[in-house]
Amino acid sequence: MANEDEQFERIPWEQLSPPGGQRKGMVYALAAAIVAAAVSATLARNLGAPAEPVPIEMTTAALAVPTTTVSPPAATVPEPGVWSEADLMAVHPEELRTEAMAVAEWFVSDYFTVDGSETLGAELTGLLPSGAPPTSHPPGFRSFVDWARALTASEQGPSEFTVSLLVRSLAATDGGAYMRAPLRAVEVTVLWTDDGWSITDLPTPTELPAMAESPPWPEQEVTDEVAALAVEKAGPGAVVLGGGEVGGRWRVVVEAVDPIGGRWPMVVWLDPPPLSDD
């Protein structure tokens, strides 16, 4: 049977539902008050001092905390908005880099071309920055770009790329025969804005990629059977020049003939022929 001194009012726990962490704090405070009251009553009995019961008056009005029921957010589809020009023109960085390399190839192909027409010169003048000096070639000079290849594109700033390129040209002077010009390496910086691509400066000469001497391939006598297979694969008119076995396969050097009559040394790789049953 509980002692008469241990009198406690009933605590309306079901109404203690403050939001968030406030509920825990209220519960802890009430629990501490109850424990303190119980300890005080126990000490009073043990010491023989009469103690009046101290009821803990808890009213519903004091403890009631208004609760708010929060419904989970419903899945909604955003209404279509108005796309800005910047959104429509936005490009993935890698796609922008690829396009910058293509624009640089396009520009140098025209820049190093001299075909005698005024149209191309006017187009280049519109692409180049203001104040770019005009070209000054010898009389009768002509130049055509055989090919232009972008090697790398390094980002210099937002939507700005410096592209390194290799350019091969054919040129002639004063009506003479065209000669293949030495390979040229240049850098071109291009910038993307909402208005499109622009060339920020003239081409800058740079160094060619370093090229090393290729290691020699093994040479040995090519059997008639391997030679026949190599000629068959290289096409009519091919001639075996040499070869050797590499890593279990045959590397055969042949002189292949193109449809116009050109003869080009090329390599044919063959799996070793199956062993004969004889």
The pLDDT of residue 107: 95
Whether 56 is covered by a domain: the verdict is: yes
Are 148 and 108 within 8 A, CB to CB?
yes
- Tens-place pLDDT, residues 165-215: 999 999 999 888 999 999 999 999 999 999 999 999 999 999 999 999 999
Q: Which of 11-25, 163-177, 238-252 has the lowest mean pLDDT?
A: 11-25
Better-predicted residue by pLDDT, 147 or 23: 147
The pLDDT of residue 139: 87
DSSP class of 19 = S
Q: What is the DSSP string of 150-198?
A: EEEEEEEETTEEEEEEEEEEEEESTT---EEPPPEEEEEEEEEETTEEE
> What is the extent of the structural domain holding 55?
13-63
Same domain, yes or no: 106 and 188 = yes
Same domain, yes or no: 33 and 103 = no
Same domain, yes or no: 241 and 166 = no
Same domain, yes or no: 34 and 113 = no
The pLDDT of residue 61: 46
The pLDDT of residue 242: 96
Better-predicted residue by pLDDT, 17 or 256: 256
Q: How many domains does the chain have?
A: 3
Same domain, yes or no: 123 and 189 = yes
DSSP class of 15 = G
Whether 72 is covered by a domain: the verdict is: no
Using a pLDDT cut of 70, give the percent of the chain over it: 64
Same domain, yes or no: 93 and 178 = yes
Indicate whether 14 pLDDT > 50.
yes
Same domain, yes or no: 92 and 198 = yes
Same domain, yes or no: 199 and 238 = no
Whether 165 is covered by a domain: the verdict is: yes
- What's the rounded mean pLDDT across residues 114-129? 82
Note the pTM of the prediction, 2 decimals: 0.60
Better-predicted residue by pLDDT, 210 or 134: 210
Distances (CA, A) of 16 to 36, 55, 135, 219, 255: 20, 19, 88, 93, 95
Same domain, yes or no: 144 and 189 = yes
- Tens-place pLDDT, residues 39-83: 555 545 554 544 455 555 555 444 444 555 545 545 454 454 554
